[in-house]
Amino acid sequence: MNTTVKTLLTGTALAVSLASLAPQVALAADSKVLLKVPVAFSTNLPSLGSPILKVADQLKLVSNNTLRMKVYEPGKLVAPFEILDSVSRGKVNAGFTLAGYWAGKIPASPIFSSVPFGPEASEYLAWIYYGNGLKLYQEMYDQAGYNVHVVPCGITPPETSGWFSKPIEKPEDLDGLRMRFFGLGGKVMEKLGVSTSLLPGSEIFPALEKGAIDATEFSIPSVDKNIGFHKIVKYNYFPGWHQQATLAELLIHKDTWNDMSESHQAQINQVCKASVADSLAQGEAEQFAVMKENVEKRGVVIKQWSPEMLSTFKSAWDEVVIEETSKDPFFAKVWQDLSEFRDGYKVWGENAFLPR
């Protein structure tokens, strides 16, 4: 055998060997990952808790079963208010929840779930994805010392403003009420004499039933119906000035995230973006039928806040913003960035859309 033939055969053998290794290299890059995901909300709550089940199904499909999620209902693995700490410490490697639950640990966190008198979903997502929102969102967790990677993974449309046992006609009617309230809107209500508490979803109905609270807000009508607030309190107020859009987060332990292949990371990012679109569409599609049924079959009285009441809420919110920005530098940083984005967005928003 001459030298040329030997060289050709050796080169061919090497090429075949490398080719045979390629699938193994690809498989090694996408080694199997299991995310154990405790959730803050029951998965039977549409647009709020249900999206993570669809995310789990889609990730299994697009990853060819190399990236899977096991979803745990609230309290089954981790209590809702312990998800952030549990993911950061590695007790679990992921969690599905709302950033606003961490207000006691990170004052700026509610800005990344909902903002009183804040942007609707389209403007909010514009800031998150194409402004500085997502960058600041991750920075918030990093500077607070949490070992997590955050991915927006769902969004709900405007919530109801609350369920009450009697009409609220003037600011004085709020004074002395005990009410479950979420996020920065709770600070607004406290300025108006309301005693607020932040209860997880599973504890709200029992608290109403036992008289521990007088009123509550929680979510969109389809979610509130499933919990059954209408069985106890009949006056349902709109608009939800405190939560015009509510962003959900998938938290992943940062070491787990960093160990993933770029393919798995991209799959999570894109499937979660699809979940954002899907949860919003589902939320918008389902509310009007529930509202009609609430009135016709469940005895609910739908009420609109008067201009006086909305002005009262807005004035109190302006005071809260001043207080929060003066107390916490990172809150001030995020608020300034969001405010600048919204000021710019007005040029588009005020010209592009038909008046309602």
Boundaries of every domain in the chain? 33-157+245-285, 162-243+295-342
**Helices (DSSP H) in 179-253: which residue ranges?**
183-191, 201-210, 221-227
Phi-psi region of 138 (alpha: psi -120 to 50; beta: other; left: phi over 0): alpha
pTM of the model: 0.91
Q: What is the pLDDT of residues 289-300, one digit of tens each?
A: 999 999 999 999
Annotated binding residue at 319?
no
Query: Residue 345 burial by CB count (10 A; 0-12/13-18/19+): exposed, middle or buried?
Result: middle
Annotated binding residue at 159?
yes
pLDDT of residue 305: 98
pLDDT of residue 5: 36
Annotated binding residue at 217?
yes
Percent over 90 (pLDDT), the chain: 91
Annotated binding residue at 341?
no
Q: What is the pLDDT of residues 160-177, one digit of tens each?
A: 999 999 999 999 999 999
pLDDT of residue 29: 55
CATH 3.40.50.300 applies to domain 162-243+295-342? no
Q: Topology of domain 33-157+245-285, per CATH?
A: D-Maltodextrin-Binding Protein; domain 2 (3.40.190)
Annotated binding residue at 180?
yes
Average pLDDT over residues 51-80: 98
pLDDT of residue 13: 41
| Fold match, 33-157+245-285 / 162-243+295-342 | yes
pLDDT of residue 356: 77
Using pLDDT thresholds of 50, 70 and 90, give the confidence band for residue 329.
Answer: very high
Listed residue (238, 166, 246) closest to 201, CA to CA: 246
- Spatial distance between the Cα atoms of 103 and 97, rounded to a whole number of angstroms: 13
In 62-119, DSSP assigns E strands to 67-72, 94-97
Average pLDDT over residues 315-337: 98
pLDDT of residue 20: 45
